[in-house]
Amino acid sequence: MKERFILQQHLPLAHMISSALDFCESMLLRSDMLYPFALICANNEIHSIFANDEGQLAHGAMIESLQAQIQAHKNIEPRYASVLVYAADIKQSSIPDTDALILTITDSQGHNTITLYPFTRVKSGIKISQPCTCDFPD
């Protein structure tokens, strides 16, 4: 488990976040592209959700599709936690562009956090760096 990459406020969801990061790492070893996906934890069971991609959805539409599926699960089981995952390029004027994994984490109380995990490609795979986060009140 990538415990050193789990922020203190996310420790109750450590297993789900670590599973998402492991899956990202595995996929990025095989491809330059990471398609958005989500994990939902309800009744102590983790389920994965993938966008219904028929080769025609842009990444934004895939993320919206996943958000709708997460919302549908929330209507069935109000006390759930979810992690929506996608990749992005981070551009800042003072530093070189950076690849990052973006995790939108919703805990069982409905509190949302967006956490960025910068990563770089190395010979042996990818190297995930320490995360930074933003909290958003509902």
Average pLDDT of 2-22?
A: 83
Give me the phi and psi of 94, to 5 degrees please: -95, -10
Helix (H) or strand (E) holding 132: strand 132-136
Per-residue pLDDT tens digits for 76-104: 777 789 999 999 888 777 777 789 999 99
Provide the number of structural domains found in the chain. Answer: 1
Q: Identify the top-confidence range among 1-5, 29-33, 72-76.
A: 29-33
Average pLDDT, the chain: 83
Average pLDDT of 115-132?
A: 87
Q: How confident is the model at residue 37 (pLDDT cuts 50, 70, 90)?
A: very high
Coil, strand or helix: which one is 136?
A: strand
Q: Which residues contact 44 (CB under 8 A, 6 or more apart)?
A: none
- With b meaning 16 or more CB within 10 Å and e meaning fewer, what string describes 43-79? eeeeeebebeeeeebeeeebbebbeebbeebbeeeee
Tokens of 48: 């994965």
State the residue range of the domain holding 40. Answer: 3-136
Q: What is the pLDDT of residue 135?
A: 57
Q: Which of 74-83, 99-108, 116-125 has the least mean pLDDT? A: 74-83
Q: What is the DSSP annotation of 60-71? A: HHHHHHHHHHHH
pTM for the structure as a whole: 0.84
